[in-house]
Amino acid sequence: MPVKVDPETGLINLFNDQISYVIQILKNRYPVHRYFGAVLTDATELAPLPSGNHAFAADTQPDFPYSVTSLPLEYSTIGSGDYRQPGYLIETPANQLLPILTYVGMRVTDQPINPDQLPPTVAAGTDVTTLVLHLADTVTGLKLALNYTLFDHSPLILRSTTLTNTGQQPLTVQTLNSLQLDLADDHYDALTFSGTHAHEANPTLAPLRPGIQCQRSLRGTSGPQQQPFMGLARPHATEFSGEVLGTALVWSGNFQAAVEVDQYAHSRLTLGLEPTTFQWQLAAGTSFQSPEAVLAWSDAGFNGLSQVFHDFGNQLQPTLATSPIAINTWESNFFDVNATKVSQLIQQAADLDLEMVVVDDGWFFNRNGENGQLGDWQVDPVKFPQGLRPLADQAHQQGLKFGLWLEPEMITTNSALYREHPDWVLHYQQRAPITARHQLVLDLFQTAVRQHLLTTITGLIETNQLDYLKWDMNRHLTQVGNDWLPSSQQGELYTRYVLGLYTLLNQLRARFPELIIENCSAGGGRLDFGMLAYTNQTWLSDLTDPVDRAKIENGFSYLFPPSCFSTHVSASPNGQNGRFTPLQTRLNLATIGNLGFEMALDTLTPAERQVVMTQIKQAKVWQPRFNNARFYRLTDWRDQPDCQAWLLVTRDQRQALCFYTTGLSSAVKVPTQLPLHYLADQRHYLVHGHSFSGQTLNHVGLTMPPAKQDFESQLLWLQPAE
């Protein structure tokens, strides 16, 4: 196994052919961080850590002549002389914090952690090496395991923390990070992503400064305001070169990512559960496992880092099978759906050679607007007198799949379910409920609630022979409390809600392994690696305008592979921003990812129908070839904010797709050279019938003609010339 241990120095080198992560057990007491980066064949050559005291620091001891104040500790807390952001805060029954825990041993295995209650992060058959460092507190009996799972063929490590209370008294966990990474300097820019509904995944690069820079969510979900991720890049890093590292949490609830620069210009990066909304009562004899954090490194710039995350995401998803090309009823009908309209849509979809029809919101009883009834999930007998099954049968007879929108986590007060079980919602005792979008949130911690939802969803799937579910969540959590947990455990509910969601999704996937589930939270509001483990694709944004949507996709591409992007063609002018865009641009953008449509198909002119059918036919050729392709950004948002240029290259580098758009056209018609960077130099590629070497295309580039009108785009297929 790729772990080298030097008993004399206490150095542990966890490595593969790309990276090393080096830890030192200092004086057999504390694990300290020594190195993370390109592979080191001999970690014993690292210089010793400086000993001696610092001014106003906790005193050193004869058997431990190091100042804890400045040590690069692998996992630390306050109260023992380290005054930086803590990795953990754990209270004794006396309401006193535990000290920095002491190393007691290690274990190496070829098995991943893959905790039962959390998303499975390592696919079966994936080669990994897991290093576990055991720490302990002899007074309380707490055992703490630092888990490091190295992917043997990727520059990626999974970090997590396992707590086990072997003592007689309960302990209170106030803060628990999955990752703490101490770095020797502060010469980094922090990469983060922020946004809001219809404006997701906006990148920001900011130089580190003294103090703390923090990203977090208090909403009960992971976004879209801030993404559970933080990257650190050397100041001159670009899309194509430079050293970058990044960490993302495999978690769909509240999180905190923070980087602190201390008085010695050292940097500490932490990522884990958001501490002000997290508390856990660790009873005697029980354990708690933190979510896993993905830690990746690259010396090939942001594109290099993205490849690591994309590979992780692809192996995380339930399947990489190509999703069917869908038509969704939402933007053409909104709540005004009925049997006649859906039946007509099925025939229109079949005529255009689409592959699936999805009935979005509005199909169930008393649902004609946002204030309509949620929670009972009974088919509206007026809109659908014979139910949905005849429509599903019609779709299947036409060779189409059939899908349905659902918002399972939500309920309204006018529902029968709420009247029967008002205690099933998150609420504060003796307080009036707070609604958002007229909705309350079901308490997924409760087994009865999850069982009811599983039974209800199972009934919908089986009765209507559903092939697809669009799983939506359109509000954040408020009044996160219930009547079931004792007062001392109410602080666990934010965490238990997400664990309940994972349990429900896991049960649904086990029961219906072929079901396609689309993740949605008012768009990309809950796109994270936790949800990626249970869903096939994600609706990235409720904004379908291709100009803004391209920027959103560009932002999400730093972390997530386009195999999970659900991208639909909508009408022009766009219903949200009023922008007119060419049909071909809308088609080209939607072809990157999982192509679908969000428009009234009967409004297409004969010429437009032909364009659409041509693109659909071509997409069916491209999708299986490029679903697992390498995805690269060819321009930098800092230099060209309105230009999006992407390259998808098959794993064998024989074919590629290039998407290019520049926004507004110019009266000065000048072509642009677009170097492609990532083709095989010695291969030859056909572009518009002409053969070019990969070397020429990489360094000189494609010649992109000037746009004739605003918002034009190009989607070029580079085929093998040999």
Active site residues: 472, 542
d(C-alpha 251, C-alpha 530), whole Å: 5
Q: What single string gives the DSSP state of each residue in 639-667?
A: T-TT-EEEEEE-TTSS-EEEEEE-SS--S
Give Cα 649 distance to the centre of its chain. Answer: 22
Cis? peptide before 210, omega within 30° of 0: no
Write out the two tokens for 470. Answer: 């669009």
Q: CA 45 → CA 34, 116, 366, 495, distances in Å?
A: 11, 40, 71, 43
d(C-alpha 170, C-alpha 184), whole Å: 37
Half-sphere exposure of 293 (CA within 13 A, CB side): 31
Q: What single string gives the DSSP state of each residue in 232-261?
A: EE-TT--SSSB-EEEEEES-SS-EEEEEEE
Residue type, 212: I
Q: State the first-to-last Cα distance of the chain, in angstroms, to the nearest integer.
A: 41
Residues sharing a CB contact under 8 Å with residue 616, sequence separation 6 or more, in sequence order: 325, 352, 353, 354, 595
Residue 312, SS3?
helix
d(C-alpha 219, C-alpha 47), whole Å: 45
Give Cα 206 distance to the centre of its chain. Answer: 22
Instruction: Check residue 361 and report its DSSP letter.
Output: T
Which class for 689: exposed (0-12), middle (13-18), buried (19 or more C-beta within 10 A)? exposed
d(C-alpha 31, C-alpha 19), whole Å: 19
d(C-alpha 420, C-alpha 425), whole Å: 11
Residues sharing a CB contact under 8 Å with residue 522, sequence separation 6 or more, in sequence order: 197, 472, 473, 474, 542
Q: CA 22 → CA 37, 140, 655, distances in Å?
A: 9, 30, 39
Instruction: Check if the beta carbon of residue 113 is closer than 8 Å to that of residue 128.
Output: no
d(C-alpha 142, C-alpha 424), whole Å: 35
**Where on the phi/psi map is residue 10: left (φ > 0), alpha (ψ -120 to 50), or beta?**
left
d(C-alpha 651, C-alpha 382), whole Å: 51
Q: What single string gives the DSSP state of each residue in 14-42?
A: EE-SSEEEEEEEETTTEEEEEEEEE--S-
Which class for 149: exposed (0-12), middle (13-18), buried (19 or more C-beta within 10 A)? buried
Instruction: Check if the beta carbon of residue 299 is closer than 8 Å to that of residue 236.
Output: no
d(C-alpha 132, C-alpha 147), whole Å: 5
**Could you write out the three-class secondary structure of 497-551?**
HHHHHHHHHHHHHHHCCCCEEEECECEECCCCHHHHCCCCEEECECCCCHHHHHH
Instruction: Check if the beta carbon of residue 696 is closer than 8 Å to that of residue 570.
Output: no
Neighbouring CB atoms inside 10 A of 222's CB total 27
Instruction: Check if the beta carbon of residue 425 is closer than 8 Å to that of residue 411.
Output: yes
Instruction: Check residue 304 and report its DSSP letter.
Output: H
Neighbouring CB atoms inside 10 A of 12's CB total 23
